[in-house]
Amino acid sequence: MTTMQRLLQLPVNAVNMVKTVQSQVQGQEEDKSPVLSPDNGQQTWYSALQPDELRHLRSGGTGGGGGGGGDQEERGFQEDGGGGGSGGGSFQSQPLRHDDLKEMLDSNKDSLKLEAMKRIVAMIARGKNASDLFPAVVKNVACKNIEVKKLVYVYLVRYAEEQQDLALLSISTFQRGLKDPNQLIRASALRVLSSIRVTIIVPIMMLAIKEAASDMSPYVRKTAAHAIPKLYSLDPEQKDQLIEVIEKLLADKTTLVAGSVVMAFEEVCPERIDLIHKNYRKLCNLLIDVEEWGQVVIINMLTRYARTQFLNPNINESLLEEGGGGEKTFYGSDEDEDEDDEEKEKEKKVEAAAMAKRKPYVMDPDHRLLLRNTKPLLQSRNAAVVMAVAQLYFHLAPKAEVGVIAKALVRLLRSHSEVQYVVLQNVATMTIKRRGMFEPYLKSFYIRSTDPTQIKILKLEVLTNLANETNISTILREFQTYIKSMDKDFVAATIQAIGRCATNIGEVRDTCLNGLVQLLSNRDELVVAESVVVIKKLLQMQPEKHSDIIKHMAKLTDNIQVPMARASILWLIGEYCEHVPKIAPDVLRKMAKSFTNEEDIVKLQILNLAAKLYLTNSKQTKLLTQYVLNLAKYDQNYDIRDRARFIRQLIVPTEKSGALSKYAKKLFLALKPAPVLESPFKDRDHFQLGSLSHLLNAKAGGYQELPDWPETAPDPSVRNVEVKESVPEWTKCSSREKRKEKKVEKPFYSDSEGESGPTESADSESDSASGSESGSGSEGSGTGSESEESEEASVSEEEDEEEEKKTKKRESKKPVQESESEQSSEEEDRKRERKSKQRKSESESESDEEEDSESDSSQSESEDSESEAEIKKKKKAAESKPPSKPVKKDTKKEKKEMSLLDLDDFEPTPSPQVTPVNNLLSNSLVTDLEGLSLSDAVLSPATIAPSSALKSYELLHRITGEGLSVEYCFSRQPFSPDANMVAVQMHFTNNSTSDTKNLHMEDVKLQSGMRVKDFPEIELLPAGEKATAVMGIDFCDSTQAANFQLCTHTRKFFVSIQPPVGELMRPVFLTENEFKKEQGQLMGMNEIAEKLTLDAKCRNEHAIVQRVTTAANLSRVPCGSDKECSPLVPPPEHPVYRFAGRTVTSGSLVLVTVASREEGAAQLMVNCEKMLIGTMLVKDILLALTQ
Amino acid sequence: MIHSLFLVSNSGDIFLEKHWKSVISRSVCDYFFEAKEKAGDPENVAPVLQTPHHYLISIYRDKLFFVSVTQTEVPPLFVIEFLHRVADTFQDYFGECSESVIKDNTVTVYELLEEMLDNGFPLATESNVLKEMIRPPTILRSVVNTLTGGSNVGGTLPTGQLSNVPWRRVGVKYTNNEAYFDVIEEIDAILDKSGTTVFAEIQGVIEACVKLSGMPDLTLSFMNPRLLDDVSFHPCVRFKRWESERVLSFIPPDGNFRLLSYHVSSQNLVAIPVYVKQNISFLETGSCGRLDITIGPKQTMGKMVESLMVTIPMPKSVLNVNLIATQGTYTFDLSTKVLLWDIGKLNPQKLPNLRGSLSVQPGAPKPEENPSINIDLKIQQLAISGLKVSRLDMYGEKYKPFKGVKYVTKAGKFQVRT
């Protein structure tokens, strides 16, 4: 605090003293501080200050830091002054409060400031004006005390709009806050900054939001998402820029951000549905973990999204209307049943489609994903979430599945009455379209006398909608109780409801009518009147049967006084005067007598009655009619006078009566259609349920229409997140590139690696078969005669017994079988090298077609450079050991087998240029082998397993990478430094003209639990060259992406690797018995079964096995029939294929069964403890088998 | 979303307003007052009102109206649910949610509202997180605050928002580690004149009071989880685990919270603990009526029925009552015409009876309907559905907690038609 200010304040106090007296006299309430003029002076003084100066000033004010002697003195003085001020406040009058508040704010005691701020906030809370304190408050914005600071923020946000110039003084504080190392301070700075509605700072806000959107802390990013709509409402011009930020935040993978950014999306650019595509699946998967408010917003948005992107699941139902008859049984069924139902539904749909010559409806897997992931949220404690899911199901789910929401909605009826009110409104709309859904819960809608009237009436509405032939008797019995209620509005509504039940259900019409007629003798006039009105409507449907009721009602005219009821009776008598020919004229006589005392609507009906009687029975009523018309002619009400004049002209024949009069009878006694008693909730469902617009039955501002289903589904591939597969690209590549690509491919021997573990187990024969199979396969290739030797070598270490079996088997299979050689593996290696070199040149000339198919498998272990040495050592060790004790040497043998392919002699460190050689060899072998296996039914399927292709994904495109392109694939090799990691092989290609140096990764961003082992830095990648590296990622058994930066010496690129679910597992060997045992333990929720129709090209064993193993890193479980694999035993007609694996991180078993049936039908079953993995895997395999 | 909030007392006084976007004049509440006037009973005010420029969404809680203003489309339940959450938070902080308490704690209330919404969108609604930012007032603290001038705003910044478990703060420490669970079941029933059940179901909740140090991971399992027909969970419960194993696995919030609410469907037979023999009649002529009510135990599973209370809203034409109760006391509110009979424990040997005459306004017609009888009761140590907790296990922490489960059965909306 400067002395200058102090000086300024002293006279202020003096002035206050004087003014106090005045104001006391005036008795003003706290409109505005009467001390405005000195205040204003101060204000200008402040605004002249630059922010920097203000900061200086502030630090003086709050600073206990600078402790000079003079400073001390000054403070002492101020405290006195402050104390005096507040002390004085107690006996000073109200209007001066603001001044002592100012004094307190100016003091440098935090406690005083806090007290002042509390009082100011209390004023704001009560809606009192505290704007004149702005200058005094705003300089405390940088106060160190966090409590004071918070209250200052509250004040600032409230009044900044009114005092824009002064508010600007606080901006620099927030700007500094935005750079604070503490994320919470950054967030709160952004929060307040964006809440200050001052147009001039829009650019600053924009900048702050953009910066915060890429903040490290998800909390700050969340705040940024919140700030977007604030800025948008302040300046809609910024929309384009804000959309960019939204787009960026939508890609965020944290649950904290998801809800807020979708909210921003909904407020700023709800029409930009295209922004959702890429994030759709992520949002679906994150949904369950998002906080509840975010869930509501996301679900509502996804409902709209799904309506634009998917086909109507009930499209064929509408053609098969009678199909609805079965729906009752479907409702309330569990998920398992739902699956069945779905099958039925599908069948039904197929029929329908045949009728309609349409394609059978197949639900988009993404559509299914949405339904599946929202369903658990029906269990939320938050009514809004439950309602959101309910409306999503109502608008999007196939008819048979909507039933699940009923239970949850009924549960909400226990909640607060406001919640009940909204839920019942929505239930009422739903019951019109889907009555069966709520039928089992009929009793939950029974009304208690303690319910508020508005709830009672809504429940009544629901009960009426639910009424049908079977339950009407119970409902009517309930209604009878309600009629006795003390709540007359409710009784009237009940009578209306009875009327509606009677019109809708023909069987009970008479019962209802009788009941209502009994009510006519009710003591309460309102009840009688309402009954009359309803009876009138009912009678219109079949008047001839009920002349006695009409007579009864005619008698009521003497007693009943309610105008509407009297009018109804008169209309009824007039309309059906032929049925009561004797009574009608008498009624008219009575009415004519009391005409002058009647209400207007009754008078009109008397006129109508008179006219109708005149036309049918003019003899008896002519005079009466004349009399009534004369009375009406002089009525006060012009409607009645008009009507009288009109009727007279029409019915009374005069000499110049118009052409119309001969049609008078037709005009008055035309057959009138019976009124349709409709629910007020009919057709309300064109509004999105659960929305404000639905509740009000009128479009609210900002309501987004629920679009109609599209005729044809838009391209579903827009939602694919992974970058396009590179397979098609290969064919376009140069041969050199081709080789590179191939390195990516699956190792030829991968299956033997996977399965050699349990080689010596009881079921060893099948395993050895797999080993030998690959050998025989390579023989079959015709060209590579030597390669089988190497194969044999690998097998040669196995026990003799096995070899015998193998031989037998091989004999049975392949006459081409050669004798087994016992050559040393080293020799073998060299030979193979040579061979493969030859092969390389051969295969390079092969056609592109083959390239595609040979993508099946390749060995990529060479990139395992760091484990190279180790492997070599082991190999040596293994070799030195006699081949007769491989039992414990399983792993070593495996390593050895790998090392057989090592090109250590050929080139010390394997490079991508060389490895493909091997791959090519094996690839071509496999291609040939495939051809063979097609013709050979007994061939063990395990051989085919390795032939699956390795997909390569793009990590960095050539263009975005400025010449550097990176692709990656999952090599399906165990990652030797850490067995829990998935090995990812990366291929770098430098397409630019300059060298790239120091290629490495940094700044790895991962979901919790995930780990990454970096690939070794690549020092130099010369222009036009390629390089390969392997990194390991522990995905924690989730398909969450691993994000990191790829750095070169000049640039950094943000990249992310997302694994397909099939790569999150490694094959394990199981025998059929083991498999079945394990499967038995993974039933119920852990089992997911799906029926499918196999693709035409995929009906043989080979193709199925190949496609499954391509989709997922699993190994085939040898089936029982293989045990006696003699050609004499024919394969079973409908073979069952089993595959097994374990997830990489947790080692949970993954069991896949494909059971084929007739005509390409098949059933796919996945058992996995991790349900998420299971469901995703089912989807992937399904896709692989059906396309 | 939510633009502004007004707190209105039952008498129509706006005693607090808060705006999250630009300021909306409190005159917008006039539409609300108009509707309130028309509805008569505060329960009958429509929760959603449309005005020319705004929509008013309100709730009525504890004799207070929470009137929120929105300008655009918003799911009404979203707002209603949020307003109730606000009221719950007040209740949690101040022990009750009344006008005087809110007026006394205006600043805390204001700070809470500031934290709970950002630009009209809910920000922090978990009580654990809020309590870390804004400390609830206690008597001791308010004394200390008046002496030292401190406030209830937390001095340190919260970390809860950022932890993996948003509902639990880190670094919780207790000397006595305890976890108590109350299984509370309420019977909703409608009985007709003859005593047959028209409709009955059981609504249950499990209220937890968990005071455990560190990050405990609890597993609660039931003897008969199949009973639970429809459940809704606190967000901490792992849904997948429930789906597959029917056990509740969760990291609990600190303090009191509702773990689970469930529903035992009306398909199951619901035991009705008491029967009511009643005879209420009004004479056709003459201004009087008779009342005779006896309550006896029906299916109480051998437990004592306590806190038995009978409430009868009499027709408006009843002027006064002249009754004799063999047990307990009765009161008759002359303005609301509600007869309240507080019985206490139900003695099976000597059944409580209330009988006497009712005086009716002379000349008024005989009331159309006999009043319905609402019953309130409590049975300790019994969950009427038969639900039983079999065990509670704790993982993740080393100490041994005290564990306890209590069962209570209450009457919910238990109504006898006459």
Confidence check: pLDDT of A877 > 80: no
**Cα B298 to Cα B196: distance, rounded to the nearest angstrom:** 12
Return the sign of the alpha-carbon dihedral for residues A734, A735, A736, A739.
positive
Q: Which pLDDT score, from 0 to 100, does residue A511 have?
A: 83
Chain B residues within 8 A of A695 when measuring between CB atoms: 48, 76
Q: How close is the nearest chain B Cα to the Cα of A523, in Å?
A: 8
Q: What is the pTM of this model?
A: 0.64
Q: How close is the nearest chain B Cα to the Cα of A485, in Å?
A: 6
| Interior angle at CA B109, CA B104 and CA B113, nearest 5 | 165
| Interior angle at CA A902, CA A899 and CA A907, nearest 5 | 150
**Cα A555 to Cα A521: distance, rounded to the nearest angstrom:** 11
Pairing of strands B329-333, B318-325: unpaired
Do A223 and B118 lie within an 8 Å CB cutoff? Answer: yes
Long-range residue pairs from A637-646, CB within 8 A, at least 24 positions apart, any chain: A637/A600, A637/A603, A639/A600, A639/A604, A640/A600, A640/A603, A640/A604, A640/A607, A643/A604, A643/A607, A644/A607
Burial A383-414 (b: 16+ CB within 10 A, else e): bbbbbbbbbbbbbbbbbbbbbbbbbbbbbbbb
Could you give the 3-state DSSP secondary structure of residue A787?
helix
Closest CA to B342 of B291, B374, B307, B316: B307
Return the domain boundaries, chain B: 2-148, 178-270+384-416, 274-380
Mean pLDDT of B373-380: 91
**Cα A717 to Cα A724: distance, rounded to the nearest angstrom:** 10
- Ramachandran sector of residue A652 (left: φ over 0; alpha: ψ -120 to 50; beta: rest): beta
- DSSP structure class, residue A760: G
Residues A299/A388, Cβ–Cβ less than 8 Å: yes
Return the CATH class of domain B2-148: alpha beta
What architecture does CATH give domain B274-380? Sandwich (2.60)
Residue with more model confidence, A921 or B129: B129
Closest CA to A772 of A793, A747, A741: A793
Q: How close is the nearest chain A Cα to the Cα of B59, in Å?
A: 6
3-state helix, strand, coil in chain B (%, to 5): 20, 40, 40
Average pLDDT for chain A:
71
Q: Which pLDDT score, from 0 to 100, does residue B148 have?
A: 58
Q: Could you tell me the two tokens for A625?
A: 């009619």
Tokens 């809110």 locate to B102
**Cα A897 to Cα A886: distance, rounded to the nearest angstrom:** 13
Q: Could you tell me the two tokens for A835?
A: 């061979």
Do B162 and A379 lie within an 8 Å CB cutoff? Answer: no
Q: How confident is the model at residue B150 (pLDDT cuts 50, 70, 90)?
A: low
**Cα B283 to Cα B274: distance, rounded to the nearest angstrom:** 29
Q: How confident is the model at residue A553 (pLDDT cuts 50, 70, 90)?
A: confident
Range with the poorest average pLDDT among A92-96, A241-245, A1064-1068: A92-96
Q: Which pLDDT score, from 0 to 100, does residue A905 have?
A: 41
Mean pLDDT of A709-735: 61
Closest CA to B86 of B124, B135, B133: B124
Other Cβ atoms less than 10 A from the Cβ of A64: the count is 11
Tell me the CB-side half-sphere exposure of residue A259, using CA atoms within 13 A.
19
Range with the poorest average pLDDT among A353-362, A704-713, B89-98: A353-362
Of chain A, the percentage scoring pLDDT greater than 70 comes to 67
Residues A1075/A1117, Cβ–Cβ less than 8 Å: yes
**Cα A427 to Cα A409: distance, rounded to the nearest angstrom:** 8
**Cα B123 to Cα A455: distance, rounded to the nearest angstrom:** 31
- DSSP structure class, residue A719: G
Average pLDDT for chain B:
85
Do B72 and A443 lie within an 8 Å CB cutoff? Answer: no
Chain B residues within 8 A of A485 when measuring between CB atoms: 369
Question: Could you give the residue ranges of the DSSP H alpha helices within A214-330?
Answer: 218-234, 239-250, 255-268, 280-286, 292-309, 327-330
Main-chain dihedrals φ then ψ at residue B19, nearest 5 degrees = -120, 135
Q: What's the per-residue H, E or C state across A951-996?
A: CEEEEECCCCCCCEEEEEEEEEEECCCCCCCEEEEEEEEECCCCCE
Name the amino acid, one letter, at A884: S
Chain B residues within 8 A of A384 when measuring between CB atoms: 75, 77-78, 80-82
Other Cβ atoms less than 10 A from the Cβ of A108: the count is 19
Do B111 and A185 lie within an 8 Å CB cutoff? Answer: no
Tell me the CB-side half-sphere exposure of residue B291, using CA atoms within 13 A.
25
Question: Could you give the residue ranges of the DSSP H alpha helices within B195-255?
Answer: 239-245
The enclosing H or E element of A101 equals helix A97-106
* Residue of A217, A387, A414 lying closest to B203 (CB–CB): A414
Other Cβ atoms less than 10 A from the Cβ of A246: the count is 26
Q: Could you tell me the two tokens for A603?
A: 């008078």
Residues A551/A588, Cβ–Cβ less than 8 Å: no
Residues A413/A444, Cβ–Cβ less than 8 Å: yes
pLDDT digits (tens, 9 = 90+) for B59-118: 998 889 999 999 888 999 999 999 999 999 998 888 888 888 888 888 888 888 988 888
Q: Could you tell me the two tokens for A175?
A: 């700007």
Confidence check: pLDDT of A856 > 60: no
Return the sign of the alpha-carbon dihedral for residues A780, A785, A787, A788.
positive
Q: Could you tell me the two tokens for A778?
A: 């390579």
Q: Which pLDDT score, from 0 to 100, does residue A455 have?
A: 92
Do B157 and A417 lie within an 8 Å CB cutoff? Answer: no
Main-chain dihedrals φ then ψ at residue A1115, nearest 5 degrees = -120, 150
Confidence check: pLDDT of A269 > 80: yes
Could you give the 3-state DSSP secondary structure of residue B4?
strand
What architecture does CATH give domain B178-270+384-416? Sandwich (2.60)
Range with the poorest average pLDDT among A562-576, A916-930, B128-142: A916-930
Mean pLDDT of B332-360: 88
Burial A644-674 (b: 16+ CB within 10 A, else e): beebbebbbeeeeeeeeeeebeeebbeeeee
**Cα A1035 to Cα B389: distance, rounded to the nearest angstrom:** 37
**Cα A875 to Cα A372: distance, rounded to the nearest angstrom:** 50
The enclosing H or E element of A1152 equals strand A1149-1156
Do B155 and A147 lie within an 8 Å CB cutoff? Answer: yes
Confidence check: pLDDT of B370 > 70: yes
Burial B21-36 (b: 16+ CB within 10 A, else e): beebeeebbebbeebb
Which class for B307: exposed (0-12), middle (13-18), buried (19 or more C-beta within 10 A)? middle
* Residue of B109, B164, B266 lying closest to A443 (CB–CB): B266
Domain B178-270+384-416 identical in fold to domain B274-380: yes
Name the amino acid, one letter, at A474: T
Mean pLDDT of A550-559: 81
**Cα A262 to Cα A244: distance, rounded to the nearest angstrom:** 13
Q: How confident is the model at residue A777 (pLDDT cuts 50, 70, 90)?
A: very low
Q: How close is the nearest chain B Cα to the Cα of A1021, in Å?
A: 41
Confidence check: pLDDT of A424 > 90: yes
Range with the poorest average pLDDT among A69-73, A274-278, A997-1001: A69-73
Q: Which pLDDT score, from 0 to 100, does residue B231 have?
A: 87
Q: Write the CA distances from B36 to A451, A695, B69, integer angstroms.
A: 17, 19, 16
Main-chain dihedrals φ then ψ at residue A969, nearest 5 degrees = -145, 165
Closest CA to A276 of A237, A311, A249: A249
Tokens 């700007």 locate to A175
Do A700 and B55 lie within an 8 Å CB cutoff? Answer: yes
Return the sign of the alpha-carbon dihedral for residues B193, B194, B198, B203.
positive
Interface probe with B: pick from A287, A290, A381, most Cβ of B within 10 Å: A381
Other Cβ atoms less than 10 A from the Cβ of A1097: the count is 9
Residues B169/B159, Cβ–Cβ less than 8 Å: yes
Q: Could you tell me the two tokens for A757?
A: 């573990």
Question: Could you give the residue ranges of the DSSP H alpha helices within A861-914?
Answer: 865-880, 890-900
Minimal-distance CA residue of chain A relative to B167: A291
Q: How confident is the model at residue A763 (pLDDT cuts 50, 70, 90)?
A: very low
pLDDT digits (tens, 9 = 90+) for A77-115: 333 333 333 333 333 344 455 778 888 888 878 888 888
Chain A residues within 8 A of B36 when measuring between CB atoms: none
**Cα A35 to Cα A19: distance, rounded to the nearest angstrom:** 7
Pairing of strands B178-191, B402-416: parallel
| Interior angle at CA B161, CA B158 and CA B164, nearest 5 | 120
* Max intra-chain CA distance, chain B: 77
**Cα A625 to Cα A609: distance, rounded to the nearest angstrom:** 9
Could you give the 3-state DSSP secondary structure of residue B357?
strand
The distance from CA A178 to its chain's CA centroid, rounded to whole angstroms, is 32
ipTM metric = 0.91
pLDDT digits (tens, 9 = 90+) for B246-256: 899 998 988 88
* Residue of A291, A300, A380 lying closest to B75 (CB–CB): A300
